[in-house]
Amino acid sequence: MRSLLLQHFGYIYLNLLGTDKERASATLDLILKANQGQHPLGYKTFYVAQSKDHHQKRTYGILKFKMKSPGEGPSTLLAGLSVLKILLRNIGLRGTFRTLRKWFAIRSINADVEADELHVVYLAVSDAVRRRHVGKQLLNFAKMIAVAERKKTLSLYVREKNVDALSFFLNQGFSIDRTVIDTEADNLLMQGASTRMTMKVLTPTEGFDQQ
């Protein structure tokens, strides 16, 4: 999971945790495992596509989504303190302040989720299984959850420079909703503006009616 996050979203994590890849990777690993993985970036909040080999499990794809929640509970705040301790221990006080400042700038882009929306935060597939429909399977799982949760819209953001992802989601039925320009975040990440993409979630009845 950590390697996939760094492979596909390294421009975020190396920006937040520092350009030393080994230290950033070690810090990210600790964050994923903090509070037994039960926090907004904990490993238990991800869905994974794994190999069928029980002796040597390999993670070939990851999916993370979020929905509108009533608010943060005590467990979320406790996990936040755990992550803060990890940052202080690994990158120091100055590095932690720098990380937090950048994090608040970056997270503002997709912080809000509508009540009728399921928002895909991460979807990434290993290069080893490209063109083997792993991404499509993960996306279909997200659609299934959206239907079960009675959501009307599936949404996500893609950076302008990520033309492969943009093409993939267009081919899967997403449409471009709008371009979101956030000068501070865009300058930090240097991947262009964010493109918000959406897809209408069809209930089983609606899908039958259209056939």
What's the pLDDT tens digit per position in 142-193?
999 999 999 999 999 999 999 999 999 999 999 999 999 999 999 999 999 9
**Domain 2-209 classification at class level:** alpha beta
Global pTM exceeds 0.75 = yes
What's the pLDDT tens digit per position in 49-61?
988 776 777 899 9
Q: Residues 57-82, buried b or exposed e (16+ Cβ, 10 A)?
A: eebbbbbbbeeeeeeeeeeeeebeeb
Look-up: residue for tokens 């992802």? 165
What's the pLDDT tens digit per position in 51-99?
877 677 789 999 999 998 766 555 567 778 889 999 999 999 999 999 9
Q: What is the pLDDT of residue 32?
A: 94
Residues of the chain with pLDDT > 90: what percent?
Answer: 66
CA separation for the pair 93, 118 (Å, rounded): 36
Q: What is the pLDDT of residue 19?
A: 86
Which region among 24-38, 77-91, 122-136 has the lowest average model confidence (pLDDT)?
77-91
Residue 128, both tokens: 């080893």
